[in-house]
Amino acid sequence: MPAMGADAWFGLVGGARASPPEPGEQPQVADLLEQVVTSGGRLVGASDVLVYVVEHDAHGNQRLIVRRGAGCFATSVGRSLGKGEGLAGEVWRIGAPLAVEEGQTWPGRLPGNGGENGICGALAVPLRSHGAVVGVLGVASSRPGRVFGEAEIELLCRFGELAGVAIDNAVRLAAARRELAELAQSEARYRTLFEELPALVYTEAYAIGGSWLHESPGVEDLVGYTPEESGQPGFWKTILHPDDRERVLAEDRRVELTGDPWRMEYRSIAKDGRVVWLRDHAVLVHGGPGEPSYWHGFVIDITEQKLAEQAMREALEREQQATRQLRALDETKNVFLSAVSHELRTPLAAIVGIALTLQRARSSLAEDDGADLVDRLAANAGKLDRLLGDLLDLDRLNRGIVTPKLRRTDLAALVAHIATEWETGRPLELAVEPVVAQVDPAKVERIVENLLANADRHTPPDTPVWVRVARQDEGVLIAVEDAGSGVSPELRAALFEPFRQGPEAPTHAPGVGIGLTLVARFAELHGGRAWVEERPGGGLSFRVLLPDRRSAEPCPLRPWTPRSRRAGATRTQAEPGARARAPRTSVITYTASLKRVRSL
């Protein structure tokens, strides 16, 4: 029988070729394998030698891979076979040596071509370590008639036991070194990432109340403290913002007892005094079964995010405020248009009607009827004049173009004169002191008139009204009171807003709701103020406090000329001598139908 190819004997024909070891990889293992091949061949006098090592392939399956070869097996490095394939695979399967002679029939022998590399006899022995086959050592001879005897088989088996242990230890050592190297590289990468992250990464030994921390150098960029300073037990709690301390420490105590993940956002005070918003997340890592070992977490600076959120909230609040103001302005506009159109329409309709009547009747009217129509025409024109005057005054006050014309004024005479012309038919009681003050008499007259008009408009016809004038501190207090139903405290401030007529005013109540607004604005024009409070005994007390701006040099008291309130109306002035003879406090009761003032 012709000699068979070397690969056919050991089952390498068509076998898969594994990747060869990378240059420089496992130098101790490579040297050891080279020595095993050289020494094994010398022991039996063979030059064709190869050594297999049991390894895992890319799919995780164990294979026999040729890692070293000599002679005709020099080119077989990297070839692999499975358990039971060829002579070497069979030795791996049975764990015992096998020898094959030339011409011997062996079912596991693979077909091959003869040639210069044909072999006549072969021997394969297992390489064992700790009772397991870790490789196969194979020798072959191309000399015809060469047979490996029992002594050579025994010798090679003993050598294989030593070689197997040595190879296994070398492989394990190389694997351990490789794992250590990979671990070192992984640790270096992790440490680099740990230190260069734009965040503070930390570990804290598990202990109730806190323990030592290991923190990345990022802590210094974050809050200005070095890792040594901030790593002390409980240090982070000492720099908590006072407003956040209670809730943060309460949550810290809870997660220490429960082991729940730690997730908090809080403020800390940096070393330079800055307030820094932080997001702090950590989990409890367990070393053994159920045994907590340490906290592992990270902290990032969210100050800019919080500032952006605050700016967004403020912008939203401004937008909502602007929306509310626009809505209120629109409501005010509608109320203004409704009130003004109603107030203008009534006297204007009367004026037009009277004018048309005078135009058509002309000389056919009786003298009394004509005089009555003219009086009514003048009265309605006066209403229009007062309404437009109030609106113009409010506009000028809003634009800040009104300046008070201050002069020494006898306020008792001024208020008494207004009372004589208050034609409502209801009881009016005055309690006025003879006060002379530095005020704008025209504006004070408007204040009293508007307060009286407000009392007349919002109380029943028989409701008594009181007007009081008295000196208070460094100013003058004017009060108009009524015994009406009053207003709840929360609505009193709103009474001085434009176009407000009180909660119980009918939809088309007389007036446009700017009388009290003008009272407040005229008071502010003097540097004073206006307010309303509950009157003892029921009702409301509208009060105006005007500072008395007395000059260093006394100014003479100039006669006061009352302002004409109605077109064509006449006024009766009190005699100057009567004011001079008035007692310290005058109490006057006035009934509008009497046309005179009676002292009590």
User: Which amino acid type is present at position 272?
Assistant: D
Q: How far apart are the first and last CA of the chain?
A: 161
**Within this chain, do residues 502 and 379 fall inside the same structural domain, yes or no?**
no
384 is written with which tokens?
Answer: 């229009």
pLDDT in tens, 407-435: 999 998 999 888 888 767 778 888 888 99
Would 195 be classed as within a structural domain?
no
Q: Residue 183 contacts by C-beta under 8 Å, 6 or more apart in sequence? A: none
Please list the helix, strand and coil fractions of the chain in percent, rounded to the nearest 5, in that order: 45, 25, 30
H helix or E strand, kind and range, residue 326:
helix 303-361
Its sign, for the CA torsion 230, 235, 240, 245, is positive
Query: Pick from 177, 212, 241: which residue ends a domain?
Result: 177
Q: Of the candidates 196, 201, 188, which has an alpha carbon nearest to the alpha carbon of residue 283? A: 201
- What's phi and psi for 89, nearest 5 deg? -65, -35
Average pLDDT rounded to a whole number, residues 467-487: 89
> Per DSSP, what are the bridge partners of residue 544?
478, 530
pLDDT in tens, 523-533: 888 899 999 99
**Within this chain, do residues 458 and 545 fall inside the same structural domain, yes or no?**
yes
**Within this chain, do residues 206 and 172 fall inside the same structural domain, yes or no?**
no
Average pLDDT rounded to a whole number, residues 184-212: 72
pLDDT in tens, 153-186: 999 999 999 999 999 999 888 888 888 888 888 8
The pLDDT value given to residue 124: 94
**Within this chain, do residues 374 and 459 fall inside the same structural domain, yes or no?**
no
Its sign, for the CA torsion 103, 108, 109, 110, is positive
**Within this chain, do residues 457 and 347 fall inside the same structural domain, yes or no?**
no
Would 313 be classed as within a structural domain?
yes
Q: Mind giving me the DSSP string for 211-230?
A: --EEE-THHHHHHS--HHHH
Lowest mean per-residue pLDDT among 346-350, 355-359, 455-459, 568-572 = 568-572
Lowest mean per-residue pLDDT among 250-254, 381-385, 445-449, 460-464 = 381-385
Between residues 337 and 469, the one the model is more confident about: 469
**Within this chain, do residues 336 and 316 fall inside the same structural domain, yes or no?**
yes
| Banded model confidence at residue 511, pLDDT cuts 50, 70, 90 | low
CA distance 155 to 40: 9
**Within this chain, do residues 419 and 371 fall inside the same structural domain, yes or no?**
no
Lowest mean per-residue pLDDT among 260-269, 318-327, 334-343, 382-391 = 334-343
Would 352 be classed as within a structural domain?
yes
Note whether 254 and 246 are within 8 A (CB): no
Average pLDDT rounded to a whole number, residues 272-280: 93
Note whether 445 and 459 are within 8 A (CB): no
Average pLDDT rounded to a whole number, residues 481-503: 75
Instruction: Name residue, tokens 């671990």.
Output: 183
CA distance 600 to 586: 8
Give the distance from CA 593 to its chain's centroid: 69
Would 193 be classed as within a structural domain?
no
DSSP character for 399?
T
Q: Is the pLDDT of residue 520 over 70?
A: yes
The pLDDT value given to residue 116: 37
In this structure, what CATH number is given to the domain that contains residue 548? 3.30.565.10
Would 185 be classed as within a structural domain?
no
pLDDT in tens, 289-336: 767 788 888 888 999 999 999 999 999 999 999 999 888 777 767 766
The pLDDT value given to residue 562: 59
Q: Is the pLDDT of residue 450 over 50?
A: yes
| Banded model confidence at residue 543, pLDDT cuts 50, 70, 90 | very high
The pLDDT value given to residue 570: 31
**Within this chain, do residues 590 and 500 fall inside the same structural domain, yes or no?**
yes
Note whether 120 and 27 are within 8 A (CB): no
CA distance 20 to 30: 11
H helix or E strand, kind and range, residue 235:
helix 235-238
pLDDT in tens, 563-598: 544 333 333 333 333 333 333 334 444 333 323 233
Query: Pick from 245, 270, 301: which residue ends a domain?
Result: 301
Q: Of the candidates 394, 368, 421, 370, which has an alpha carbon nearest to the alpha carbon of residue 563? A: 421
Would 166 be classed as within a structural domain?
yes
H helix or E strand, kind and range, residue 92:
helix 86-94
Helix axis angle, 515-525 to 441-458, nearest 10°: 150
Lowest mean per-residue pLDDT among 117-131, 354-368, 446-460, 558-572 = 558-572
CA distance 36 to 136: 11
Q: Is the pLDDT of residue 379 over 50?
A: yes
> What is the reported pTM?
0.42
Note whether 562 and 445 are within 8 A (CB): yes
The pLDDT value given to residue 108: 57
| Banded model confidence at residue 515, pLDDT cuts 50, 70, 90 | confident
The pLDDT value given to residue 109: 56
Instruction: Name residue, tokens 């394990």.
Output: 172
- Following CA atoms 423, 511, 390, 513 in sequence, which dihedral angle do they give, to the nearest 10 degrees? 130
| Banded model confidence at residue 206, pLDDT cuts 50, 70, 90 | confident
Note whether 117 and 103 are within 8 A (CB): no
pLDDT in tens, 57-75: 888 899 999 999 999 999 9
Q: Is the pLDDT of residue 5 over 90?
A: no
Query: Pick from 146, 177, 208: which residue ends a domain?
Result: 177
CA distance 253 to 206: 13
Residue 292 has, within 13 A of its CA and on its CB side, a CA count of 18
Note whether 487 and 502 are within 8 A (CB): yes
Q: Residue 197 contacts by C-beta under 8 Å, 6 or more apart in sequence? A: 216, 218, 298
**Within this chain, do residues 63 and 35 fall inside the same structural domain, yes or no?**
yes
Q: Of the candidates 65, 67, 56, which has an alpha carbon nearest to the alpha carbon of residue 12? A: 65
Q: Is 598 helix (H, G, I), strand (E, B) or coil?
A: strand
Count: domains in the chain = 4
In this structure, what CATH number is given to the domain that contains residue 96? 3.30.450.40
Q: Is 333 helix (H, G, I), strand (E, B) or coil?
A: helix
Would 187 be classed as within a structural domain?
no
| Banded model confidence at residue 458, pLDDT cuts 50, 70, 90 | confident
Would 188 be classed as within a structural domain?
no
The pLDDT value given to residue 403: 84
In this structure, what CATH number is given to the domain that contains residue 255? 3.30.450.20
CA distance 40 to 433: 137
**Within this chain, do residues 441 and 588 fall inside the same structural domain, yes or no?**
yes
- Following CA atoms 95, 97, 101, 103 in sequence, which dihedral angle do they give, to the nearest 10 degrees? -10
Note whether 277 and 302 are within 8 A (CB): yes
H helix or E strand, kind and range, residue 288:
strand 275-288
561 is written with which tokens?
Answer: 């000329």
Residue 183 has, within 13 A of its CA and on its CB side, a CA count of 6
In this structure, what CATH number is given to the domain that contains residue 370? 1.10.287.130
Q: Is the pLDDT of residue 559 over 60?
A: no
Instruction: Name residue, tokens 């909230």.
Output: 313
The pLDDT value given to residue 580: 34
185 is written with which tokens?
Answer: 């590289």
CA distance 533 to 231: 63
pLDDT in tens, 217-255: 778 888 888 888 887 888 889 999 999 999 999 999 999
pLDDT in tens, 431-446: 888 999 999 998 899 8
**Within this chain, do residues 288 and 311 fall inside the same structural domain, yes or no?**
no
Q: Is the pLDDT of residue 370 over 50?
A: yes
* Domain span including residue 256: 200-301
- Following CA atoms 501, 502, 504, 507 in sequence, which dihedral angle do they give, to the nearest 10 degrees? 20
Q: Is the pLDDT of residue 491 over 80?
A: no
The pLDDT value given to residue 8: 54
**Within this chain, do residues 388 and 445 fall inside the same structural domain, yes or no?**
no
- What's phi and psi for 128, nearest 5 deg? -110, 155
> What is the chain's mean pLDDT, rounded?
78
